[in-house]
Structure 1
Amino acid sequence: MTRPLRRYWTAGRPIERTAYLVGAVLMLWGAAHAVVFLLDDRPWAGPLSWRKPTTFGLSFGLTLISTAWVATTLPLAERTRRRLLGALTVACVVEVALVSLQAWRHVPSHFNMETPLNTVISQTLAAGGFALVTIYGTLTAVSFRANPAVSRSTRLAVRVGLVLLMAALGIGAAMIVRGVTAVYAGNPHLAYTTAGALKPAHAITLHAILVLPALVWLLSGTRWRESVRHRIVTVAATCYLVASFAVLLAVIR
């Protein structure tokens, strides 16, 4: 089971290996902030907690690695692949770095318009989110192109994973809009409470791009026929979609 993982690295393109390395560093960065949280007296919840650099580092790192891995199954031109993965890598680093900077400055990272610097950082974070929408929108569209070199189960897992990731970005955009609207209405506290309510739906849809392709990878170690693997992935993808929709309904009620 470890041979395919080694092959992804040894046979990977330079941009893919760069994404793997940067993703690993971001995850270590997030883990380091979890240690800082344990040593400090800040609470886990709230806009001034160490939770944000922790979760951003872990989530962005894991998502970057997952995307670089999944992109190997997509029929992309090499220049397009380099540009998309390069832009994604830069966006992930910027998002994690700015969130971490604000945590160390002891100020909120999002919806913070109290000073010119905080405003620039908050707006940059929002712009990064919309850049991610463009990148993943392109990858999602490409995933629906015919690619006979990839198994049906892989194509299904990647397509559903990317569609759900786009849903996660849409939820993230809704969180930003809610928060910014509350800030400009003069109620910054409401910005954090109303936007944060959507976090569970954002989280479950965000990581489908890892869970479903990982299932395909696990099934590749079996001797089952592709038709059986495809049925298993279909059931898993359906369950994931239902669970995501249920969480979304729960948080918007």
Structure 2
Amino acid sequence: MSPVLRAPLGRVMRWHRPLMLMVASMLLLVVVSVAGLAFDDRVLLGAPVWLKPFKFAVSMAVYGTTLAWMLSLPHRGRRWTSGLATVFAVAGFVDTAIVAIQAARGTFSHFNKSTASAERVMQVIFGNGVLCIMLANLALAIILAVQRVHADRAMSRAIHTGLGLAVLGMALGFLIPAQGTAQTALTTGGERVLLSSGHSVGVPDGGPGLPLTQWSTTGGDLRIPHFVGLHGLQFMLIAALLLAALAARHPLLRDDRLRARLIGVAATSYTGLIALLIWQALRAQPLIRPDALTLAAAALLAALTTLAAVAVLKAGRVSDGNPPAAQQANLDGGRVG
């Protein structure tokens, strides 16, 4: 391995170890799930049994890596953040393992109301794991929100707002069982199981869905805002990186305070998008079939986002063209002399 690659890899390996071990296990599960998708033709509610473990593994690997990177940045309260991240890593590993185990058994990891003692234990562990993941993220967000965790203001704000969006996305996971409809379904072995709820709104789970995600194409689906919120952290970090890259070609964006304001606009708009997706799903409307009201709301959100971004940029230009009073006084003094 070249020294150029060895140095970054060495830094990554020194990131939060429990999180990186969890990420490694998720990457292994991705490989296992892909093999399962290729060679195991069993289905649950119309979806391949290994699709859910694949999606969970990819999501947890991405989120765990992002969290490990964030915790490698200088910040106060490292003992607390490290402990909370360990809770996240353990709970994430256990919950995803349950998803994989249930897939291998050909039965359901979510909403399974089977009277078998093993299934009841699985559901209790899984539910408590979800709660631990959300509470650990909430505590991390609170600890990091009161401090600047990156030298660049825009990136620091992206971390703060991104964590908040992720916590919101996780909390939306609790809305799913509250709105879903109970139904019975068959395991791959032909056993009829009662499911206490479902992900879809207005239609039963197991109907037509989008490729890969299996989000309903005939009714609303609360997994959509749940997913979008959960990965708001990655979106905000990418937005901050893109603004930093654009700053090399656009002098106005070299002010990290202006970029931080733009990140604030992006975070507000992203929150509006989550609200729009919740509203659409609760009206039993498929993502790919928005009605005129949904399209109008989306257009309004886009227009308000554009206006806010333009206002921030205009204010930045005015500030850039009018140096602070002390600096102006020095310039005037220089001209008099």
Q: Give the shorter-chain TM-score range.
A: 0.7 to 0.9
Distance of 1:140 and 1:160 partners within structure 2: 9
For 2:147, what is the secondary structure of its paired residue? coil
Percent identity over the alignment is 24
Partner of 1:55: 55
Shift of 1:227: 3.4
| Equivalence map 1:1-253=2 (5 Å) | 10-11=10-11, 14=14, 16-43=16-43, 46=46, 49-73=49-73, 75-114=75-114, 115-147=116-148, 150-177=151-178, 182=182, 188-189=194-195, 191-194=197-200, 197-221=221-245, 222-223=247-248, 224-225=253-254, 226-253=256-283
For the 8 Å contact 1:19–1:68, the answer to whether it is kept is yes
Greater Cα shift, 10-19 or 114-123: 10-19
1:70 and 1:44, CA in 2 relative to 1: closer, same or farther beyond 3 A?
A: farther
Q: Which structure 2 residue ranges, 5 or more long, are not aligned? A: 184-192, 206-220, 284-337
Q: Select the structure of larger CA radius of gyration.
A: 2
1:56 and 1:148, CA in 2 relative to 1: closer, same or farther beyond 3 A?
A: closer
- For residue 154 of structure 2, what is the amino acid of its counterpart? S
Distance of 2:159 and 2:33 partners within structure 1: 31
Cα RMSD after superposing both structures: 3.1
Shift of 1:244: 1.5
- For residue 199 of structure 1, what is the amino acid of its counterpart? R
Shift of 1:130: 0.6
Distance of 1:170 and 1:6 partners within structure 2: 39
Deviations 1:37-77 (A, max 9, x none): 23332348557722211111111111111112223347342
For 1:192, what is the secondary structure of its paired residue? coil
TM-score (norm 2): 0.64
Q: Which structure 1 residue ranges, 5 or more long, are not aligned? A: none
Distance of 1:166 and 1:99 partners within structure 2: 21
For the 8 Å contact 2:182–2:194, the answer to whether it is kept is yes
Partner of 2:293: none
1:149 and 1:215, CA in 2 relative to 1: closer, same or farther beyond 3 A?
A: closer
For 2:49, what is the secondary structure of its paired residue? coil
For 1:188, what is the secondary structure of its paired residue? strand
For 1:113, what is the secondary structure of its paired residue? coil
Shift of 1:219: 3.8
Shift of 1:231: 4.1
1:134 and 1:199, CA in 2 relative to 1: closer, same or farther beyond 3 A?
A: same
- For residue 22 of structure 2, what is the amino acid of its counterpart? V
- For residue 201 of structure 1, what is the amino acid of its counterpart? P
For the 8 Å contact 1:98–1:109, the answer to whether it is kept is yes
Distance of 1:178 and 1:123 partners within structure 2: 20
For the 8 Å contact 1:64–1:89, the answer to whether it is kept is yes
1:18 and 1:71, CA in 2 relative to 1: closer, same or farther beyond 3 A?
A: same
